[in-house]
């Protein structure tokens, strides 16, 4: 055995910093890459969560948002007709992105359903009969909850985020030619191309990637590092929640009827307090009771910081009870980190920039996973390698296929069907599972080819199925300036084109790519 | 008995498990020790804790020898762990 | 204003890119002489930095700073894609800078 071969077999840590970091990056990246890809894809899609939810509820026509005063007034008139036993109304006022009033009604189970969601026309308050769907919220919650019981999914996401940050640090340390290779992308050169792509995609959006990962951890801070909270709030977490989210528990009802104070003056007071800011949400506890309270929460799209700004009023006489105190530097920093992650402060330009950066992140992870497999092509026959290959396909093409199926299912399952949410979510997981089985059974090249084409077909089908089942097809959307529906359909077509181009490229250059 | 798997396992355990424990202890220490309103201290501790977690994992694999990797995490754990119960 | 920000960042990245010998070679067969390289690096860096107050003008400082990072990423992505296709084609979007500047000045 030559000396060089012996050197190469020494543990990476002994060979120096770069080989050690390369090994950490490679193995950490592989083991968590599939999960991180799923998190990144659903997260990127969630930048347009509101728009997706609107597309999946086509019964909501092309509405224009009204002023908060009009919407609040109309909503309260509508809700006032059925306020027996109601414990809380949570009223999300219409915004430019979501031009409907959304209400969550919580009531005493003895008087009706414990929780009920309503969608109201912003101007008249009339309920709109929308199909039962999870909408964009399913993909949003999957992004950090992973649809797992208890909070297991969130713990897993936190761990994945830590590994992602480790991958960034180790990746940058390993990337010797990070400045020289900044713009280098040499296509059609096999493994070299995959490495170039992985490197450039990582470096060009490095600020975004590090920011989104760290801020993601911040959003799950009370879960992952709860020890400080446990120690400093020994009398219970409730006090922490109150301090951080300005969310006091509701008062007990007095069971003395009293009309709700007029809302318009309260909206004006809040707007003045927030220097012209807009009310985004009303939380009304015990409406119609003398112990009613009205909380006005500021719209979260007006500032980068996601720290809550709210004012609490007495519901029967409109007197101010409390308002959010001035918060300290750490709380403001947390608010800004959280706000940067959710990006709810973005206008359409910024939102698309975040979306594109997210896609770059997904592509970075995907090229990394493929690079891992391509680099070890000579071990392709081993069981471990076959598992990696199958998981790569399941993640990179399987998940997009499942998402497309979720959207198609929304249109194909009848709007009146009571259990349709189960159908939609079940369809997502069933299709993903089938994609995984397909990837496991089919030879690798066939698996990639077939799933790339399937992804292209399903995404291309979405606008057509939309047009046929709802009559709000792409041509009509473009003529009416309906950018929610038009934008969704166009993005679906662009995604289909991307997968189709990848399929063609793979067919032509498959040898070189592998 | 050749324990060739031991150094890497030690690094993995100290890095990932030890790293989390260190970050938790430091977050707790800062929450108790920082001279600020308790919400501020708790949040600062946690936000710094995440960074410590990442740095610890990098250290566990970057350290020249397995001993340095493990002690580099265990000793701070022990130090902060010893002080923290006695704050306030 | 947004177009100007994109144009500035693209120009900045392109200047920094072609200052490098390997990319200059792919464009014109040989690297630029050292004084030109220094000039390109200066222009490139300044263009990227000047894009920040431009985004601040369009979005305000908080959102503008965030947008600046986004525009840097997207312009870089665009350059790399065009560069991989054909280095000469990568020069085409540079006309966007004088065009955007004129539009802004005329407003």
**Average pLDDT, integer, range C37-57:** 96
Alpha helices in A3-67 (DSSP H): 3-9, 12-15, 17-46, 49-55
The pLDDT value given to residue A13: 67
Q: Are residues A411 and A285 in the same domain?
A: no
Q: Are residues A480 and A421 in the same domain?
A: yes
Pick from B25, B50, B66: which is nearest to A217 by CB?
B50
Distance CA A306, CA A338 (A): 6
pTM of the full structure: 0.94
* Strand-by-strand arrangement of the A279-285 sheet: A115-120, A101-107, A86-92, A279-285, A293-298, A310-314, A320-323
- Cβ distance of A228 and B50 shorter than 8 Å: no
B8 touches chain A (CB under 8 A): yes
Q: Which residue has the tokens 């929780």?
A: A115
ipTM exceeds 0.90: yes
CB A468 within 8 A of CB A438: no
Straight-line distance from the first to the last Cα atom of chain A, in angstroms, rounded to the nearest whole number:
30
Are A405 and A472 members of one domain? yes
Q: Does residue A251 sit in the same domain as residue A309?
A: yes
**CB–CB of A139/A42 below 8 Å?**
yes
| Nearest-Cα residue of chain B relative to residue A241 | B39
For A234, which residue in chain B has the nearest alpha carbon? B38
Residue A87 falls within a domain, yes or no?
yes
Nearest CA in chain B to A243: B39
Greatest pairwise CA separation for chain C in angstroms: 43
pLDDT of residue A236: 83
Chain A CB within 8 Å of residue B22 CB: no
Which residue numbers in chain A have pLDDT < 70? 1-14, 510-514
Q: What is the pLDDT of residue A2?
A: 59
Q: Out of A186, A207, A350, name the one closest to residue C63 (CB).
A: A350
Cβ–Cβ below 8 Å for A165 and B54: yes
The CA distances from residue C74 to A179, C80, C86, in Å, are 18, 10, 18
Which residue in the block uniquely carries the two structure tokens 């008087």? Answer: A111
What is the least distance, in Å, from the CA of B32 to any CA of chain A? 7
Taking CB atoms and an 8 Å limit, are C67 and A353 in contact across chains?
A: yes
Q: What ranges do the domains of chain B cover?
A: 24-83
Closest to B39 measured CA to CA, from A352, A80, A231: A231
Q: Are C71 and A304 within 8 A, CB to CB?
A: no
Are residue A118 and residue A192 in the same domain, yes or no? no
Is residue A498 one of the residues assigned to a domain? yes
Chain B: partners with 3+ C-beta pairs within 8 Å: A
Best interface-test mutation with B: which of A13, A25, A31, A245 has the largest number of B CBs within 10 A? A13
Domain tally, chain A: 3
CB A396 within 8 A of CB A368: no
User: Residue A37 in contact with residue A365, Cβ under 8 Å?
Assistant: yes
Residue ranges of chain B with pLDDT lower than 70? 1
CB atoms C84 and A353 under 8 Å: no
Q: Which chain C positions have a beta carbon within 8 Å of A340's beta carbon?
A: 66
Question: Is A345 in a helix, a strand, or coil?
Answer: coil
Is residue A394 domain-shared with residue A480, that is, in the same domain?
Answer: yes
Which of A13, A232, A243 is the closest to B61 by Cβ?
Answer: A13
Q: Does the beta-carbon distance from B27 to A217 stay under 8 Å?
A: no
CB contact under 8 A, A329 and B38: no
- Interface A-B, measured as beta-carbon pairs within 8 A, has a size of 103
Determine the Cα–Cα distance for residues A37 and A365; give it in Å rounded to an integer: 6
Mean pLDDT (whole number) for C49-67: 95
How far is the alpha carbon of A185 from chain C, nearest alpha carbon, in Å?
6
Q: Hey, is the C-beta of A498 within 8 angstroms of any chain C C-beta?
A: no
- 8 Å CB contact of C73 and A347: no
Q: C63, A360: Cβ pair inside 8 Å?
A: no
Per-residue 3-state assignment (H helix, E strand, C coil) for chain C: CHHHHHHHHHHHHHHHHHHCHHHHHHHHCCCCCHHHHHHHHHHHHHHHHHHHHHHHHHHCHHHHHHHHHHHHHHHHHHHHHHHHHCCCHHHHHHHHHHHHHHHHHHC
Closest chain B C-alpha to A440 CA, distance in angstroms? 30
Nearest by Cα to A39 from A155, A138, A140, A137: A140
Query: Is residue A37, in this structure, part of any structural domain at all?
Result: yes
**Cα–Cα distance for residue pair A430/A408, rounded to 1 Å:** 14
Which chains form contacts with chain A, at 3 or more CB pairs under 8 Å? B, C
Any domain includes A54: yes
- Chain A residue with minimal CA distance to B17? A159
CB-closest option in C20, C62, C83 to A304: C62
pLDDT of the residue at A480: 92
- The token duo for C43 is 């222009």
Facing residues of A120 across strands? A101, A127
User: Which residues does C contribute to its contact with A (CB < 8 Å)?
Assistant: 2, 13, 16-17, 20, 22-23, 59, 62-63, 66-67, 69-71, 73-74, 76-77, 79-81, 83-84
**Scanning every residue of chain C, which has its alpha carbon at the shortest distance from the alpha carbon of A358?**
C70
In angstroms, what separates the C-alpha of A327 from chain B's closest C-alpha? 9
A346 and A367, same structural domain?
Answer: yes
For residues A499 and A208, what is the distance between their CA atoms, to the nearest angstrom?
Answer: 24
The structural domains of chain C, with segments of one domain joined by +, span 2-98
A20 with B61: Cβ contact below 8 A: yes
The phi and psi torsions of C29 (rounded to 5 degrees) equal: 90, -25
Contact residues, chain C, for A204 at CB < 8 Å: 73, 76-77, 80
Asked whether residue A367 falls in the same domain as residue A222, the answer is yes
How many other C-beta atoms can be found within 10 angstroms of the C-beta atom of residue A240? 19
Chain A contact present for B68, CB below 8 A:
no
Question: Each residue of A247-285: pLDDT tens digit?
Answer: 888 888 888 888 899 999 999 999 999 999 999 999 999
C16, C23, C80 member nearest A200 (Cβ): C80
CB contact, 8 Å: A37 with chain C? no
CA dihedral A178, A184, A187, A191 (to 10 degrees): -20
CB pairs under 8 A between A and C: 63
| Chain A closest-CA separation from residue C96 CA (Å) | 19
A21, A227, A234, A334, best to mutate vs chain B, most B CBs in 10 Å: A227
pLDDT of residue A511: 53
pLDDT value of residue A512: 47
Cβ within 8 Å of residue A11, ≥6 positions away? B7, B8
The verdict on a CB contact (< 8 Å) between A304 and C76 is no
Chain A within 8 Å of B46 (Cβ-Cβ)?
yes
Tokens 């004012």 appear where? A311
Q: Chain A window 161-190: which residues touch C at a Cβ cutoff of 8 Å?
A: 180, 182-187
Q: Which of A204, A304, A345 sits opposite C73 (nearest CB)?
A: A204
Q: How far apart are CA A54 and CA A485, in angstroms?
A: 8
Whether residues B31 and A331 touch (CB distance < 8 A) is answered with no
Residues of chain A in contact with residue C80, where contact means CB-CB under 8 angstroms, are 183, 185, 200, 204
Q: Of A413, A371, A512, A508, which is closest to residue A452 (Cα–Cα)?
A: A508
Q: How many CA atoms lie within 13 A of C86 on its CB side?
A: 5
Q: What angle do CA C79, C85, C86 make, to 5 degrees?
A: 85
Distance CA A95, CA A312 (A): 22
Residue A286 structure tokens: 């015990």
Domain of residue A226, residue span: 17-58+151-244+335-375
Instruction: Establish whether chain B is in contact with chain C, requiring a minimum of 3 CB pairs below 8 angstroms.
Output: no
Q: Hey, which residues 313-342 in chain A have their CB within 8 Å of chain C?
A: 340
């Amino acid at each position: 055995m030559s000396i060089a071969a012996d050197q190469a077999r020494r543990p990476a840590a002994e060979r120096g910093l770069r080989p050690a970091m390369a090994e950490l990056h490679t193995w950490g990246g592989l083991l968590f890459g599939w999960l991180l890809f799923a998190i990144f894809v659903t997260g990127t899609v969630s930048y347009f969560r509101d728009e997706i939810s609107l597309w999946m509820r086509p019964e909501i026509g092309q509405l224009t948002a009204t002023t908060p005063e009009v919407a609040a007034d109309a909503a309260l008139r509508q809700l006032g007709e059925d306020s027996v036993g109601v414990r809380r109304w949570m009223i999300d006022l219409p915004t430019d992105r979501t031009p409907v009033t959304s209400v969550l009604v919580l009531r005493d189970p003895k008087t009706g359903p414990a929780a009920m969601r309503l969608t109201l026309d912003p101007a008249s308050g009339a309920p709109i009969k929308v199909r039962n769907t999870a909408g964009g919220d399913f993909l949003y919650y999957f992004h950090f909850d992973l649809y797992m019981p208890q909070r297991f999914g969130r713990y897993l996401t936190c761990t994945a985020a830590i590994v992602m940050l480790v991958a960034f640090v180790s990746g940058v340390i390993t990337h010797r030619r990070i400045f020289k290779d900044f713009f280098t992308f040499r296509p059609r050169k096999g493994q070299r191309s995959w490495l170039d792509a992985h490197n450039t995609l990582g470096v060009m959006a490095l600020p975004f990637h590090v920011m989104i990962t760290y801020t993601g951890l911040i959003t799950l801070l009370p879960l992952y590092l709860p020890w400080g909270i446990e120690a400093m709030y020994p009398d219970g977490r409730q006090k922490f929640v109150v301090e951080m989210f300005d969310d006091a528990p509701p008062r007990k009802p007095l069971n003395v009827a009293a009309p709700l104070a007029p809302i318009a003056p309260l909206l004006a007071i809040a707007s003045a307090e927030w220097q012209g800011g807009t009310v985004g949400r009303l939380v009304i506890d015990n409406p119609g009771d003398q112990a009613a309270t009205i909380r006005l929460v500021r719209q979260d799209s007006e500032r980068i910081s996601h720290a809550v700004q709210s004012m609490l009023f007495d519901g029967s006489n409109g007197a101010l009870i409390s308002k959010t105190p001035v918060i300290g530097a750490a709380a403001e920093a947390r608010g800004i980190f959280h706000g940067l992650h959710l990006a709810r402060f973005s206008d359409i330009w910024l939102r698309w920039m975040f979306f594109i950066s997210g896609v770059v992140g997904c592509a970075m992870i995907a090229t990394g996973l493929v690079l891992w497999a391509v680099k070890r092509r000579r071990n392709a026959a081993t069981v471990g390698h076959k598992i990696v290959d199958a998981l790569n396909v399941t993640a990179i093409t399987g998940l997009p296929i499942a998402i497309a199926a979720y959207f198609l299912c929304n249109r194909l399952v009848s709007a009146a069907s009571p259990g349709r949410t189960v159908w939609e979510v079940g369809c997502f997981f069933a299709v993903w599972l089938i994609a995984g089985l397909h990837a496991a059974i089919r030879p690798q090249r066939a698996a990639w080819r077939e799933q790339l084409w399937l992804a292209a077909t399903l995404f291309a089908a979405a606008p057509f199925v939309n047009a046929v089942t709802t009559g709000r097809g792409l041509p009509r959307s473009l003529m009416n300036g309906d950018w929610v529906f038009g934008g969704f359909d166009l993005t679906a077509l662009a995604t289909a084109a991307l997968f189709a181009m990848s399929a063609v490229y793979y067919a032509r250059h498959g040898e070189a790519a592998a | 008995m050749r324990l060739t798997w031991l150094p890497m396992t030690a690094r993995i355990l100290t890095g990932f498990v030890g790293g989390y424990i260190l970050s938790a202890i430091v977050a707790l220490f800062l929450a108790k020790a920082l001279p600020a309103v308790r919400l501020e201290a708790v949040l600062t501790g946690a936000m710094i804790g995440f960074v410590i977690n990442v740095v610890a994992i990098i250290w566990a694999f970057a350290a020249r020898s397995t001993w340095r990797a493990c002690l580099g995490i265990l000793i701070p754990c022990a130090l902060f762990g010893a002080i923290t119960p006695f704050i306030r | 204003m947004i177009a100007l920000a994109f144009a500035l960042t693209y120009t900045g990245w392109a200047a920094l890119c072609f200052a490098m010998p390997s990319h200059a070679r792919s464009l014109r067969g040989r690297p630029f002489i050292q004084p030109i390289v220094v000039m390109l690096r200066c222009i490139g860096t300044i263009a990227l930095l000047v894009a920040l107050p431009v985004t601040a003008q369009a979005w305000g400082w908080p959102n503008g700073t965030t947008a600046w990072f986004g525009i840097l990423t997207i312009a870089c992505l665009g350059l790399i894609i065009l560069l991989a296709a054909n280095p000469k084609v990568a020069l085409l979007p540079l006309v966007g800078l004088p065009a955007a500047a004129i539009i802004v000045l005329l407003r």
